[in-house]
Amino acid sequence: MPSSSVPSLSLRISPVLPRPRLPLKRLCLLVGTTMLLNACSSMMESTGSLGNEGLDAGATRQVGDRSVAARVLIPGADTLAGATEYPDIWSRIGGGLQFAYDYDNARIDEQLAFYIDNPSYLKIVTERASPFIYEIVEEVERRGLPTELALLPIVESAFNPNAVSPGNSVGLWQIASSTAPVLGLKRDWWYDGSRDPIASTSAALGYLTQLQQMFDESWLLALAAYNTGPGNVRKAITRNEGRDRAVDYWSLNLPSITEDFVPKLIALSRLVATPDHYGMELAKVPNAPAVTLVEVGFQLDLALAASIAGLEPQTLYQLNPGFRQWATHPDGPYALLMPVDVVETFKNNLQEQGERPSVTWDRYVVQSGDTLSGIARQFRTQVGVLQQVNGISGSRIIAGESLLIPRAYNSANPLVAPNAPVYSNAGNNAAAAQAPTRYQVRSGDNLWSIAKRYQIRVADIAQWNQLDPDAVLKPGQLLLLRSGNGVASASSEAGEQPAQPYVVRSGDSLSGIARRFGVTADDIALWNGIKTGDLIHPGQRLQLSPGELKLN
């Protein structure tokens, strides 16, 4: 993200290092596989133009396809990806780099300096990547793409599948809601493919492939276009052509965030390939799948699925952020991403589940004077969901008829949008529970259930705690809740736990965060042991007070 200054280099960085040598076995396999891929090229569909029909993703599946059957490797590619070839996933990525060592530019040095001066950041994001990175590398190699692209979610979202940008781009790959349908991603009340780690990876890589073809096979221009849009890159090229200037990425006048975007990826690629050279430590991630897609075949509540698999619900939510209502879509996709070590348990227990309901329902008898919108508000759901569930094409309902209200498994709460506003019920004389100044999240909690309990808006709790309204909460997590005219402290009952840190989002700056919380950039720098001119990156955590967190 843009910043007014760049940290000075604490050591001299050699800008261009020798490429990591490929093992002889790897080299032979590359040659053999290249010949095989050339022979098979006629079997693959060409990538079409970007349009409402979506992007072609190759002969084996369409972009955004999440089905297990679609996850087929190109013949021979599985021999390249053998777990015995590389000791971990990072060395596998390093062995497939294609352009990270082709450039010598000060902007790369600047990004290297940031990562070297902030070693904890790289360790955190590589740990966060561990459930998904193997699957991403598999897909990158299946398509024959540079493995640098597998690291792009670090730059885009710090590998946070729930990341949301100020421009409303979401997920690991930061796909905008307006772009998702064009990329073939399904998006509705139940499911958002932009947040789905598997579907969004397929869509993003398909889009990057098309951009690379659009810009004369230049990966750097393709990456710039991914960040700022192909139109902006074309305009920059046209400007330089009119002035008889070079039109390579490094010569273009692009937005500052885009000028940092590609150097960040190149710097990360070099660090991942040779971390010892830079004195860096990466999270230990085996070159083996940590998760796998399990086809359920019908709509299933995620809390029930977690119970069947022997998992905490939060674990399953975090692996499947594309499902927005704590259940798979009634029309599919039905596949769930699960840790590989629970798959057999899940399948066996699911079979024993038999005909028991996989999503539970409330029955509501329509009263005289009811409207569909009023019932939707009462049950904190949406008119479209009631229409879909009950087969209603319009808004007309009849007193005495029954409506089904979808409700989460083993919960008294209806299955609703997590960011739905809370409405008071005039027919309910029971007083709302007194909101505490702070609340410790319990197993099974979500923002909506907490908001309902204390008659607070979900949006307000999210704002006070700097959370995405769709965020999955962790048991033990502390939330600030307004009490009277004050705001809760984020400290624990014993007063020992530090204030809830602020997680930096894409587009943030120290000055902007300071204005939002009524402090100064110098204060934030002091409390976090950084300089006011230091770069901050998405996913970085900042303490916003020396003691209690106070929000204006």
Q: Which residues are catalytic?
A: 156
Nearest to 315 by CA among 161, 194, 187: 161
The label of the residue with tokens 């569930």 reads 389
CB atoms within 10 A of CB 124: 17
Q: Which run of H or E residues covers position 37?
A: helix 24-40
- Proportion of the chain in helix, strand, coil states, percent, rounded to 5: 40, 10, 50
- Please answer whether residues 129 and 154 qualify as being in contact, where contact means their C-beta atoms are separated by less than 8 angstroms: yes
Residue spans of alpha helices (H) in 72-196: 77-80, 89-95, 106-117, 119-129, 133-142, 152-157
Nearest to 269 by CA among 508, 102, 84, 24: 102
SS (H, E, C) 359-401: CEEEEEECCCCCCHHHHHHHCCCCHHHHHHHHCCCCCCCCCCC
The rounded distance, in Å, linking the Cα atoms of 351 and 354 is: 6
Read off the DSSP letter of residue 68: G
| Number of residues written out for the chain | 552
The rounded distance, in Å, linking the Cα atoms of 267 and 112 is: 5
Q: Kindly state the tokens that stand for 536.
A: 């901050």
The 3-state DSSP class for residue 210 equals helix
- Please answer whether residues 96 and 81 qualify as being in contact, where contact means their C-beta atoms are separated by less than 8 angstroms: no
The 3-state DSSP class for residue 405 equals strand
Q: Kindly state the tokens that stand for 208.
A: 């990057």
- Please answer whether residues 159 and 132 qualify as being in contact, where contact means their C-beta atoms are separated by less than 8 angstroms: yes
The label of the residue with tokens 């050339």 reads 38
Nearest to 74 by CA among 33, 32, 29, 135: 33
- Please answer whether residues 538 and 504 qualify as being in contact, where contact means their C-beta atoms are separated by less than 8 angstroms: yes
The label of the residue with tokens 């790289």 reads 122
How far is the first Cα of the chain from the last one, in angstroms, to the nearest whole number? 25
Read off the DSSP letter of residue 503: E
